[in-house]
């Protein structure tokens, strides 16, 4: 069991399933992303730059896609509680996996274009 697996395993089953789905979304969108714990949560890097992070909490899952990832999808994210570069998806509501996928794909493309 690696650090990410250990982190996810500490949460209730429902939250574990959501975090594993997010993990799969990131890995599918960026198979070469480096997965590691950062800031106490699962994080991913491409081209040496932060891609996204996610974290589990009692009542929500936090997604951290840097300010640019959130600015690009501001309208769709507007119904969720946010901070600069972060958004909270409540566990008592459907998780917008398609939106998360589009955010991750955007961040993958953004990091790739900055690396050129």
pLDDT at 1 over 80: no
Please tell me the predicted confidence (pLDDT) of residue 31: 93
Neighbouring C-beta atoms of residue 89, cutoff 10 Å: 22
Residue 1: exposed, middle, or buried by beta-carbon count in 10 A (0-12, 13-18, 19+)? exposed
- pLDDT-based confidence at residue 17 (cuts at 50, 70, 90): very high
- Residue 104's nearest CA partner among 60, 54, 57 is 54
What is the pLDDT at residue 83? Answer: 87
Question: Residue 60: is its pLDDT beyond 80?
Answer: yes
Q: Tell me which residue of 73, 95, 113, 93 sits closest to 23, measured CA to CA.
A: 95
Are 44 and 52 in contact by the 8 Å Cβ rule? The answer is yes
- Residue range 103-108: average pLDDT? 96
Domain assignments of the chain as residue spans, ordered by start: 3-114
CATH 3.90.1150.200 given to domain 3-114: yes
Span 58-82, average pLDDT: 93
What average pLDDT does range 42-63 have in this prediction?
96
Mean pLDDT of 54-70: 94
pLDDT band at 80 (very low <50, low <70, confident <90, very high): very high
Average pLDDT over residues 55-67: 94
3-state secondary structure 60-108: EEEEECHHHHHHHCHHHHCCCCEECCEEEEECCCCCCHHHHHHHHHHHH
Structure confidence at residue 32 (pLDDT)? 92
């Amino acid at each position: 069991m690696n650090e990410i697996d250990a982190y996810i395993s500490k949460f209730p089953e429902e939250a574990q399933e959501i975090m594993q789905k997010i993990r799969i979304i990131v890995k599918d969108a960026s198979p070469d992303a480096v997965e590691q714990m950062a800031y106490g949560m699962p994080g991913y890097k491409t081209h040496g730059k932060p891609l996204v992070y996610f974290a589990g909490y009692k009542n929500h899952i936090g997604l951290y896609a840097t300010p640019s990832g959130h600015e690009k999808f501001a309208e769709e994210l507007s119904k969720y509680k946010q901070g600069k570069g972060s958004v909270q998806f409540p566990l008592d509501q459907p998780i917008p996996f398609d939106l998360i996928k589009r955010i991750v794909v955007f961040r993958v493309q953004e990091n790739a274009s900055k690396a050129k």
